[in-house]
């Protein structure tokens, strides 16, 4: 195997790893924001966990982050405006990435 082939394989492996980590971070973000939204709606315990699972499924079934936003916006109504939801989604993504990095190390 040539050096070029080894580099190509390494690049493909890194790409696959990065895609997997992004998927995990997005799913974790969706769970975290689902729990946040559940709290705003007065849900707790198993109801909150079930709602968070619905939010995760929204991204998988829909068009990614946009589907999550649409679900949250529709479900929260007047409890949170667009800016609040989007800002919280960003902060939850950062938190999800931090959690994943902590678990890896």
- From the CB of residue 65, how many other CB atoms can be counted at a distance below 10 Å? 16
**Per-residue model confidence (pLDDT) at position 4:** 67
Q: Which stretch of 3-7, 42-46, 76-80 has the lowest confidence by average pLDDT?
A: 3-7
Question: Taking a C-beta distance cutoff of 8 angstroms, is the pair 73, 55 a contact?
Answer: no
Q: How confident is the model at residue 88 (pLDDT cuts 50, 70, 90)?
A: very high
Portion of the chain with pLDDT greater than 70, in percent:
97
């Amino acid at each position: 195997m040539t050096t070029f082939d080894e580099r190509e394989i390494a690049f493909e492996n890194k790409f696959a790893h990065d895609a997997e980590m992004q998927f995990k971070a997005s799913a974790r973000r969706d769970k975290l924001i689902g729990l946040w939204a559940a709290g705003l709606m007065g849900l707790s315990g198993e109801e909150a966990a079930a709602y968070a699972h619905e939010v995760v499924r929204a991204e998988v079934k829909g068009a990614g982050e946009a589907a999550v936003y649409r679900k949250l916006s529709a479900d929260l109504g007047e409890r949170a405006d667009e800016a609040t939801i989007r800002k919280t989604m960003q902060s939850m993504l950062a938190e999800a990435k931090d959690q994943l990095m902590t678990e890896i190390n």
